[in-house]
Amino acid sequence: MTLTSFEALPLAAPLHRVLRELEYHEPTPIQSQAIPLLLQGRDLLGCAQTGTGKTAGFALPILHALNERPLQIRPRCCRTLVLAPTRELAGQVGKSFTTYGKHIRFSQTLVYGGVGQVPQVNAMRRGVDVLVATPGRLLDLIDQRHIDLSQVEFFVLDEVDRMLDMGFLRDVKRIVSLLPSKRQSLFFSATLAPNIVELAQTILREPAHVSIAPETTTAERIDQQVCFLERDHKRPLLEQLLRAQAAATVGKLTIVFSRTKHGANKLAKSLCAAGFPADAIHGNKSQAQREKALERFKKGLTPVLVATDVAARGVDVKDVGLVVNYDLPNEPEAYVHRIGRTARAGAEGRAVSFCSDDELEYLREIEKVIKMSVPRWDDHSWHLEALAERHLRIKSGGGKAPSSNGGRRQGGGGGGGRNGGGRDYSNASGRNNRRGPASVR
């Protein structure tokens, strides 16, 4: 059953009220499919990523149940356990519960590593309705008997593919073994590789399946472009993009992706020195530092955020108009997650990827996964035509062409460019070249 209006969903009045306030007029596809099933008490295997509205897809029915059946919670217990792979994502999910549960009486807390445990232990002392946790710290606190999972009614595993990539399989299995057998379990993953399905089978009971083409709706609103250039020219091209971005009226914020933590730090520093207020977030920064950086970013005080993949996951900031892949990711799926940081919640967005000589192989893998060619943006001063041609040859099975220094066109304009020129990239849209929606399957 799918529904086109929230009004048709038998959710509690305070939830309908908040949806009206948030101006969510229609459920997203995952919401219209998942919410009725979850309200019936079914287990769920959901194939969907962030950006699809999946958080409300599970938070709304859980909040509905908490509201309908208030219960005394035992000390150190929780009625809902949401497991998320990173602190950022846990924070994001926690925030969503706060937003959607604004008019409902319920308690929640977050448990994640990298910060002192005392406030988390104190918050759990009387028990909570909703606990959002990362696996490592949760197990630490369970082992110290500060958390007890025996009252869990709703168990949500979010971003399972990421969880397994990060090596949490054993932790997840241990946590599941501590849950009561009578519970409702929800399992979300962007991909359903065999090891993920296998894990799902050990957790879910006769689950309903819901599959949403990953970030299709989002990806359709993203103008994706790739620039072929020499590594040393990434900096000047980035500055050119940032200058144009600073002049934008909406979507002023930019996330720049770097492959390494060191690279992220270096780039943020040099951008600051060049007059572009920038901050870096990555795994080596403390939680407090990351939160501060995100706050400043959201407020537009530092409109450029240089991030690594793990740190940026779950970052949900509405005004991000541009994502720059300064380095291409070596995991092709990360490309889809990265570009999904723009075009959030109905906005338009642009994703520009820099591809130098040593990254052609990554680009090929990405294009295989998204099942489309990323449209080229050649109309900038540093375009390296020889590299673009080599990419084409590799793609068409011509093997590796010899590396060439030639072919760089100086100055804007000229053949090969799809779009209008240099700085004004407002109509540099990939739409006409798009062959199909980005998809990770």
Query: What residues line the site for ligand AMP (CB under 6 A)?
Result: 24, 26-28, 31, 50-56, 316, 344-345
Phi, psi (rounded to 5 degrees) for 214? -60, 125
| DSSP collapsed to 3 states, 377-440 | CCCCCCCEHHHHHHHHHHHCCCCCCCCCCCCECCCCCCCCCCCCCCCCCCCCCCHHHCCCCCCC
Query: Closer to ligand AMP at the Cβ: 149 or 163?
Result: 163
Rounded to whole angstroms, the Cα distance separating 261 from 266 reads: 9
Q: Are 228 and 326 in contact (CB under 8 A)?
A: no
CB of 167 to ligand AMP, least distance (A): 24
Query: Closer to ligand AMP at the Cβ: 71 or 345?
Result: 345
Give the DSSP H/E element, type plus range, for residue 97: helix 87-100
CB of 100 to ligand AMP, least distance (A): 9
CB of 196 to ligand AMP, least distance (A): 19
Q: Are 127 and 73 in contact (CB under 8 A)?
A: yes
DSSP string, 240-288: HHHHHHHT-SS--EEEEE-SSHHHHHHHHHHHHHTT--EEEE-TTS-HH
CB of 366 to ligand AMP, least distance (A): 21
CB of 389 to ligand AMP, least distance (A): 38
Query: Closer to ligand AMP at the Cβ: 49 or 67?
Result: 49
Give the DSSP H/E element, type plus range, for residue 316: none
Query: Closer to ligand AMP at the Cβ: 165 or 319?
Result: 319
Query: Closer to ligand AMP at the Cβ: 112 or 228?
Result: 112
Rounded to whole angstroms, the Cα distance separating 174 from 195 reads: 17
Query: Closer to ligand AMP at the Cβ: 34 or 142?
Result: 34
For the chain, report the end-to-end CA distance as a whole number of angstroms: 24
Provide the 10 A C-beta neighbour count for residue 324: 26
Query: Closer to ligand AMP at the Cβ: 215 or 385?
Result: 215
CB of 59 to ligand AMP, least distance (A): 8
CB of 58 to ligand AMP, least distance (A): 9
Query: Closer to ligand AMP at the Cβ: 82 or 147?
Result: 82
DSSP E strands: which ranges in 143-249? 154-157, 184-189, 208-211, 222-228
CB of 378 to ligand AMP, least distance (A): 33
